[in-house]
Amino acid sequence: MIRNAKAIVLLAVVLLSAFSIALPLFAKRSGVEVVAVDDGSKCMAVKTGDIITQINDARIDNSFDFSAATKNLAAGSYATMIINNGPGGCNAISTGGIGLVVKDMPSGDLKLGLEIGGGTTNIYEPADYSKSSAEKTIPVIKKRIESIGSQDTKVYLFDGNDKKTYLKISGISDENFNVLTVNGRFEAKITQNVEIKDGSGKIVVGERTHSVTYSDGTSIDGIKRNIGDEFLLDGIKFYLANFTNMSATLDALLFSNEDVTNVFTTASYVSYQSSMGQYEFYIPVGITSSAANRFANLTKRMGTKIVGSNNVLLDGSLVYLLDGNTISVLPISFESAGKAMDAMAIIGFDSSARSANSVKAEIETVLRSGSLPISLKLTGSEKYTGSLEHVMGYYVPVAAVVVVLAVAALGRMKSGSWKNGLYSIAISLAEIVFALGLISAVQKMGYSWVVDAETIAGLFAIAFIGYADSYFKMGKKKRTILKLCVFTASFITLFTSLRGFGMVLMAAMALKIILTGSMRVKLTEASVSKA
């Protein structure tokens, strides 16, 4: 009865695992998921997370279908929709635009590694050809890979025939290469225009006043400065951006990548600003206390200006830049003057939702990873099919059949019965299906575990370990020690390039300890008694 109960439990585990693997093949999710809704959207109660499966009479299976169904909508026209299997609709806010940003629904299929599923390889030429300098880019890129959750992306250096050091990045898709290799130098600056009267002006930093004079050029505190010069005032980096005999423009570095302590991605968003006709992205960040104090000192005694009827602003601007390119120029409110702001919002604007989301994601990534120590130049790119595709298509099935026949034959030799050999194979197949089902479940939860060559090797190892476990008699103590050794070795591989191999074996060992181990003991005893 107990034996039958275990067989029923094992069958249930196998069926659930097979269901997890095969479900996407029979139940492909159609439609697109709404990831952003513009402020100016004229849709009927549409919110992020909603699923759109039809627009007018067109079935929507992916984002391509969505674009095709909306691109010809005239401004103000109404489109009927099926949203979350119910009625809905939107009025186009512009020709071809209904104020929604969507993405494809996840397929749920098992994700394959580079060796099996193929991908894209880009080769980059570092600006500095010394290997030591190029090596410094690796940790930053790896941190960016982790930040964007890129599946099975690999980065490494190699020496070319010209004796130069190059960087190679291989990934399943090429959509993230730009954010991985952008220099990513983020800067927040406060810009002030200093008025010069009768050849002199002043700029105030904290409690100190510094002179700005013009006489055949601009001088700061009596030291002549040229455009682009960097200098310190009370420990804050300043740059002379421009000057005339009437004014001087000074930029003060407020914070950069190194000063960002936290990026609050859960609170960031993209929204449509109808008053501006643009998409705004908003990224709240935490900054160091030294950066907060710089803001306080720069704004404490800054002059003011009135905009509109009664809107009082500081007489300076907050400028955000990425790799020297201006992201946005923002006003500074009078209420923030002199305050040590340890949290700020990076705000920018773009003409399209897709572009705004792209810039937002890029900024979030470089703030978490830091900037590259040297710049990279793309010198080559190629797409390729998996190097093991022919192995998976032809040799793996043949090898699987050979293994099954070999294990069955060895079982026949050890026990004198084909039945026991097939029984051992059935248990091993159950362990393999369980491991694949676990991989599928882990992938559906959003974690990175792709089916790579090491994973395939682990699946074959399960069959061989099962054979040894079924037909070689050993005491309970030795069997426990052997299981512990295999489990420990599998755990160690999790921290190596054989991670997939170890994870598969650990999954199989867990099932063996809980369920199939005792079933194999019964098989061993039966084999020995018949022998």
- CATH number of the structural domain 32-104: 2.30.42.10
Show the DSSP H helices in 416-475 as ranges.
418-444, 453-471
Cβ-count burial 453-482 (b if 16+ within 10 Å, e if not): bbbbebbbbbbebbbebbbeeeeeeebeee
Name beta bridge partners: 204: 209
Asked if domains 32-104 and 259-369 share a fold, the reply is no
pLDDT(105) > 60? yes
- State pLDDT tens for residues 147-188: 776 657 888 888 877 777 888 888 765 556 778 888 999 999
Residue listed under structure tokens 């009664």: 310
Structure tokens of 205?
């930093």
pLDDT band of 528, cuts 50, 70, 90 = very low
- State pLDDT tens for residues 83-103: 888 888 898 888 777 888 777
Q: Provide the pLDDT for residue 444.
A: 65
Residue listed under structure tokens 């900024």: 363
- CATH number of the structural domain 114-184+376-384: 3.30.70
pLDDT band of 285, cuts 50, 70, 90 = very high
Structure tokens of 432?
């393999």
Rounded mean pLDDT of 196-220? 91
Structure tokens of 350?
């773009």
Average pLDDT, the chain: 80
Q: Look at 91 and 452; give whichever has higher pLDDT.
A: 91
pLDDT(233) > 90? yes
Strand, helix or coil for residue 266: helix
**Cβ burial, residue 445 (10 Å; 0-12/13-18/19+):** exposed
Q: Provide the pLDDT for residue 108.
A: 55
Q: Look at 126 and 510; give whichever has higher pLDDT.
A: 126
pLDDT(520) > 50? yes
- Of these ranges, 51-60, 88-97, 478-487, 495-504, the one predicted with the greatest mean pLDDT is 51-60
Which of 222-236, 237-251, 264-278, 442-456 comes out lowest in average pLDDT? 442-456
Name beta bridge partners: 101: 36
Q: Where are the domains of the chain?
A: 2-25+388-530, 32-104, 114-184+376-384, 187-252, 259-369
- State pLDDT tens for residues 427-449: 777 887 888 777 777 766 656 66
CATH architecture of the domain with residue range 259-369: 2-Layer Sandwich (3.30)
